[in-house]
Amino acid sequence: RAKADGRGTWRFFEVEMDIRLQARRALELDLREALANGEFQLHYQPIYDFRAQRIGGFEALVRWIHPTRGLVPPGDFIAIAEEIGLIVPLGAWCLKTACRDAMRWPDGIKVAVNVSAVQFRDEIIVASVRDALADSHLPPKRLELEITESVLLKDNLATLATLHALRRVGVRIAMDDFGTGYSSLSYLRSFPFDKIKIDQSFVRDITPDADSGLIVRAVIGLGASLGMRTTGEGIETEIQFDRLAAEGCDEGQGYFIAKPGPAATVHETITRWSGARLTQSRAVA
Ligand code: C2E
Ligand code: MG
Ligand code: MG
Ligand code: MG
């Protein structure tokens, strides 16, 4: 009996694996066509500057609008795009589109673009960034690249050389999802990032309890000592927003400020969060 049960379970796994492989292969085939079919869009989420009390920039977040599945989130296709090599042309498209869109925003409003570790191979990223800036005429200082620790896990010396080459182009570089990977601290020592983005898992720890959010407080202090700006990610409550401001965090991002939206929503978001309106809406609350 035990044997029969065991075999039954195994067969069940085989079937499930097969279904998953087929689904993944179907998604992969569709993904190969998606760029040529114009199925990608960039949504923009505002980044609030606590000191200036206004929106300082927007993060570009890619969306795949599949003809039958509808909106596919990046978590479901970025890894596949990396495996099949699509991330290089897709990443170049994101950079180009984000820079062009940012040219239509008020002067000084920055745009942040996420960059995958695969784009860092062979310095491809440097050419993509130069092309996007040349094509759009966006001043380099208005473009920020967000990289995760996976970029730094590859080949340390080559990666550092690429980061320095990007710095010479004049763009800013942010460490994304800080605190979620390994050896974060040694990375901060080996490369002078312009900004540390504190992962939303730490911001979520901020509750009305005064003793909460101790890691956030520590990372803000770390950033201050290293001369790097800090951004709190995933702010969902007014308590988290107020606490980050009080702790001296430079910027905040999250659903409490605004969810990511299409390019057409950018101007309205800037207006809604401009000083006068902010005081007004928060006084009412
Ligand atoms: P990320 O760069 O850390 O982006 C922040 C993610 O958190 C976004 O998810 C955003 O929608 C979400 N988020 C923002 N505020 C809140 C909040 O208050 N609460 C919660 N629960 N979530 C919030 P999204 O758009 O699904 O993107 C997921 C990840 O996919 C990004 O994480 C980034 O690593 C990657 N990604 C997105 N666009 C691109 C791209 O163009 N290129 C590459 N290589 N990766 C991208
Ligand atoms: Mg990011
Ligand atoms: Mg992040
Ligand atoms: Mg993330």
Q: Is the CB of 228 under 6 A from ligand 1?
A: no
* pTM higher than the cut 0.90: yes
For residue 7, what pLDDT is reported?
65
For residue 188, what pLDDT is reported?
86
Q: Is the CB of 78 under 6 A from ligand 1?
A: yes
CA distance 154 to 248: 33
From the alpha carbon of 255, which atom of ligand 1 is closest?
Answer: 18
For residue 20, what pLDDT is reported?
86
Angle (CA) 277-278-284 rounded to 5° is 90
On whether ipTM exceeds 0.85, the answer is yes
From the alpha carbon of 42, which atom of ligand 1 is closest?
Answer: 41
Instruction: Kindly report the protein residue whose alpha carbon is nearest to atom 19 of ligand 1.
Output: 234
Q: Is the CB of 260 under 6 A from ligand 1?
A: yes
Question: Ligand 1: which of 31, 61, 178 to mutate, judged by most atoms within 8 Å of the beta carbon?
Answer: 61
Q: Is the CB of 177 under 6 A from ligand 1?
A: yes
For residue 147, what pLDDT is reported?
94
Nearest to 34 by CA among 26, 45, 22, 46: 26
For residue 18, what pLDDT is reported?
83
Question: CA torsion angle for 112, 106, 131, 86 (degrees, to 10)?
Answer: 40
Instruction: Give the environment of ion ligand 4: residues with CB less than 5 A.
Output: 177
Which ligand has its closest atom nearest to the C-alpha of 234?
1
3-state SS track over 37-59: CCCEEEEEEEEEECCCCEEEEEE
For residue 30, what pLDDT is reported?
95
Question: Ligand 1: which of 44, 114, 150, 175 to mutate, judged by most atoms within 8 Å of the beta carbon?
Answer: 114
Question: What residue ranges of the chain have pLDDT lower than 70?
Answer: 1-7, 10, 154, 183, 276-285
- Name the packing angle between helices 124-136 and 156-169 (round to 10°): 10
For residue 203, what pLDDT is reported?
97
